[in-house]
Amino acid sequence: MYDIVVLGAWLEFAVRWLHVITGIAWIGSSFYFIALDLGLTRDPKPASGADGEEWQVHGGGFYHIQKYLVAPAAMPEHLTWFKWESYATWLSGFALLVLVYYLGAEFYLVDANVMDLATWQAIAISLASLAFGWVAYNTLCRVFVEADQTLLMVALFVVLVAMSWGYTQVFSGRAALLHLGAFTATIMSANVFFIIMPNQRIVVADLKAGRVPDAKYGKIAKQRSTHNNYLTLPVLFLMLSNHYPLAFASPYNWVIASLVFLMGVTIRHYFNSLHARQGNPTWTWGVTVVLFILIAWLSTLGQPRPGDDVALSGTALRYAQAEGFEDVTDIVLGRCSMCHAAEPNWAGLHWAPKNVHLETPEQIAAQARQIYLQAGVSHAMPPANLSYMEEDERAMIIAWFRNAGD
């Protein structure tokens, strides 16, 4: 069993690495093409009949780039498509959601103090919410297709705020913010899969058939691509938030998440304005700083939900009943609990790292897998071995964990 745990940890690492790699590829190409489109020179019009052009220098060479608003007169012989970056990012992200939050639902997804759900219920809500996100967003886009796009973005923000609050009423704080990120990322990837790529295929088919493509397909695809551009930075924040209890463990975590979307707008507005040569709106940085300070202030208000005192059931109960648990409890209380406590007894530490509390047998049993990986198999904890955990103590942790799997 313990070999499976180690293998599972490495599998999670590999999928997380893949997710970061594909995310970099997708975000990089997305940001580049938005910047390119905004920076096109359209006066005078290129002699080729293109809508705009731009000269760029990179890697020791010069690039002459032209954009056709609808399509060129004929289908080019070589055409590069940008789609797999998006698909691979979503697929790897969903795989990570399964590995961490679905398979570890008892510890990471469900918080009985928020809503006492069975694992299958929590997973069903998670999947349904991701599907709902795309349906709601796509419906808004169709309803507001002819309206001011600012109005559409406001309507989308209302949905995101509602989901921010809704997730925190169902899942643990960590899972709530992570799911909001997955909710938004699903919208972004679905934009590529259901709208942008099909529209581009229609244009390509028209070119091959000798027909003049309808300009509406390109216009719709650009709208969705622009939405993705403004949603990217909040998604990155929410994906990173599970490492920072100040963000997810606050009673105001849903407000924090909502404000993050506004920061995404202010930051992207600055760069998009700059790329479009529409001035240097430095005021956006002031607004961003104010929003961030407000978020930091909100994170200190109130007390975190008492989500650590989980009931000893299922997996946690097995670890609590395993041979050696009492010895391991003494080890953890002596070597780890000075930091992993509601009120850490370590100079300069004001809250438990990762919001993990190890002050009671129940809490220790609930964190068995992480204790095994962090302090048994590896020497990651205690950091720099500041509390002087002995090798025989690490061996006892390993033996206890393996006893639970027998």
- 316-328 pLDDT, tens digit per residue, is 788 888 999 999 9
**28-42, 261-275, 368-382: lowest mean pLDDT where?**
368-382
Quick: pLDDT tens for 111-137. 888 999 999 999 999 999 999 999 999
Cis ω before 72 (30° cut-off from 0): no
Average pLDDT over residues 214-218: 92
In angstroms, the CA 353 to CA 237 distance is 18
Q: Is the pLDDT of residue 307 over 60?
A: no
How high is the pLDDT of residue 314?
65
Quick: pLDDT tens for 26-63. 999 999 999 999 999 998 889 888 999 999 999 999 99
Quote the distance between the C-alpha of residue 320 and its chain's center. Answer: 33
Judge contact between 35 and 271, C-beta under 8 A: yes
- The tokens describing 251, both together, are 């009673």
In angstroms, the CA 1 to CA 209 distance is 59
Taking the CA atoms of residue 283, residue 284, residue 290 and residue 293 in that order, the dihedral angle to the nearest 10 degrees is -140
Q: Which residues contact 93 (CB under 8 A, 6 or more apart)?
A: 19, 23, 182, 185
Q: Provide the mean pLDDT of the chain.
A: 91
How high is the pLDDT of residue 125?
98
Average pLDDT over residues 257-271: 97
Quote the distance between the C-alpha of residue 306 and its chain's center. Answer: 24
Q: Which residues contact 197 (CB under 8 A, 6 or more apart)?
A: 81, 83
Of all residues in the chain, the percent with pLDDT exceeding 90 is 72
How high is the pLDDT of residue 22?
98
Q: Between 197-209 and 215-240, two packed helices, what is the crossing angle to 10 degrees? A: 150
3-state secondary structure at position 68:
coil
When pLDDT is cut at 50, 70 and 90, the band that residue 303 belongs to is low
Q: Is the pLDDT of residue 103 over 60?
A: yes
Quick: pLDDT tens for 151-195. 999 999 999 999 999 999 999 999 999 999 999 999 999 999 999
3-state secondary structure at position 371:
helix
Q: Is the pLDDT of residue 260 over 80?
A: yes
In angstroms, the CA 28 to CA 32 distance is 6
How high is the pLDDT of residue 2?
54
3-state secondary structure at position 313:
coil
3-state secondary structure at position 33:
helix
What is the value of pTM for the model shown?
A: 0.85
Task: Return the H-helix or E-strand segment holding 318.
Answer: helix 315-321
How high is the pLDDT of residue 306?
45
Main-chain phi, psi angles of 402, to 5 degrees: -70, -30
